[in-house]
Copies of this chain bind each other. A is one copy, B any other.
Amino acid sequence: MLECIVTKFGGSSLANDEQFRKVRSILELEPTRLYLVPSAPGKRFPTDEKVTDLLYLCHHLASAGQPFEGQFVKIRERYLSIAQHLHLKVDAEGALEEVARGIREGRSRDWCASRGEYLCGLLIADYLGWRFVDAAEGVRFREDGTLDAEKTQELLSSLLKNREPAVVPGFYGAREDGEIVTFSRGGSDITGALVARAVDADVYENWTDVSGFLMADPRIVDGPAEISSITYKELRELSHMGASVLHEDAMFPVHRAGIPTNIRNTNKPYHPGTLISKNAPNEVSVPTITGIAGHQGYSVINVEKNMMNSEVGFGRKVLSVLEEYGISFEHMPTGIDSMCVVVKSELFEACREEILARLEALVDGSGSVSIADNLSIIATVGRGMVHNCGTAARLFSAMSRARINVRMIDQGSSELSIIVGVNDADFESAIRAIYHEFVG
């Protein structure tokens, strides 16, 4: 069967005609790149405006009865400049006029925002000579505004079944009645994943302006290395702990379908980027750790109770109290007669005293309840850790040399990560110590 790659290009990859040219040459490099999901044109330079932001602004002004044309002219210029420089045949003027009329006539906020991708799709399809497939026909939302994943799968696979190269604009879809609905910001990633699943792609390429994910936050570690391959599970552990990566909903459809995602850099088309897959190679050459991520601002609820360990159900009771207040916990280290529940501090700010009182009632005089704040949690993630006896030793040696006190350790559930808790004040130096131990 013909190999098939779905590409999604982000806003910065489509910001101007020069970027459009790069996109075309990337597609020409690999003829199995059959489908393209574009975002709306993004920033060309740091202080530039994104087309989507301008569209939201126009809708806001129009719905407040104020003139929006001063803003719309910027949108117009962006698209017309691309069309002119690339000698496009599509009627960009007419399409832009239709969008302006829609804004003027009070079309919905979602409709207005979606036009960024719609127009961009029209232009890139024309430039590539590819078929344009309106996402309104392929991506279906329910009446309540949530994605109808099954119907979408059915519609998209039918629309794209003949493997003819096509452009499907990202970010939006429509309800049964034709009303346009958008995903949350960054939602073009989701459209790309839905298209990849619908055509059963071999790879879903997500083209952006970075050469893949970094092993650590570059604001903390100087020039961190790039991650060449990572599993969906590892990525989820890192992203849960604060690594800013893909839209979570954008990983789920392809992950489930077993389709790898490849993060690529439009400005460095030969860089292999980061490959995210279900079962990444787990060879000797895999680095011991894949990445480090962390978050500050956790609290530890410490519950001590005499003979707690002989009491079946005590842990469950403590969690029930938190659940009543809608608080999810991150970790729960247990000792003899004591347990800790680690939660995000912000989650229980409003009900801190109430929860304390409830837990004290549980302990009922034969123990104590206390809360310690300012805990940071750092996840060191890597499938290469599983069969490596020395990982924990190296990690804690590095922390020790950096004079960092380890307040909590949690390892064993995923086999993919070691979780440590340190004081907020030690957060950055702990990440640096771990990074330099394993990466250099």
Contact = CB atoms under 8 A, between A and B. Distances in A.
Interface of A: 233, 236-237, 240-241, 252, 300, 302, 306, 309-313, 315-316, 319-320, 323, 326-340, 387, 389-390, 392-400, 403-414, 416-419, 421
B313 A316 contact: no
Nearest to A409: B411
Contacts of A416: 335
Nearest to A339: B413
Given A313-B323, A315-B329, A340-B412, 10 more contacts: A240-B309, A240-B336, A331-B333, A335-B417, A336-B414, A336-B417, A338-B413, A389-B399, A392-B396, A396-B397
A389 B409 contact: no
A421 to B, nearest CB: 6
| Copies of the protein in its oligomer | 2
Nearest to A342: B412
Given A412-B340, A418-B409, A335 B237 contact: yes
Given A302-B413, A399-B393, A413-B302, A332 B332 contact: yes
A409 B410 CA distance: 6
Contact of A413 (B320, B340, B406): B340
A227 B394 CA distance: 30
Contacts of A332: 315, 332, 334
B406 A409 contact: no
The residue in A309, A319, A390 that gathers the most chain B C-beta atoms within 10 A of its C-beta is A319
A412 B405 contact: no
5 contacts: A237-B336, A333-B412, A335-B416, A389-B399, A389-B404
B396 A393 contact: yes
Contacts of A241: 336
Contacts of A338: 413-414
A337 to B, nearest CB: 7
B421 A409 contact: no
B393 A405 contact: no
The residue in A241, A329, A395, A414 that gathers the most chain B C-beta atoms within 10 A of its C-beta is A414
B405 A387 contact: yes
Contacts of A399: 389, 392-393
Contacts of A331: 333-334, 412
A412 B410 contact: yes
B413 A334 contact: yes
B309 A315 contact: no
A371 B306 CA distance: 30
A1 B414 CA distance: 59
Q: A-B pairs with the 8 shortest C-beta distances? A: A408-B412, A335-B414, A393-B396, A335-B413, A333-B412, A316-B319, A390-B400, A409-B411
A323 B333 contact: no
A383 to B, nearest CB: 13
B236 A413 contact: no
A316 B325 CA distance: 13
Contacts of A387: 405
A410 B408 CA distance: 8
Contacts of A309: 240, 328, 330
A89 to B, nearest CB: 46
Nearest to A392: B396
Contacts of A336: 236-237, 240-241, 414, 417
A401 B207 CA distance: 44
A302 B412 CA distance: 10
A158 B269 CA distance: 90
Contact of A316 (B323, B408, B419): B323
Given A312-B323, A410-B333, A416-B335, A389 B393 contact: no
A29 to B, nearest CB: 35
A282 to B, nearest CB: 15
Contacts of A306: 252
Contacts of A333: 331, 410-413
Contacts of A396: 390, 392-393, 395-397
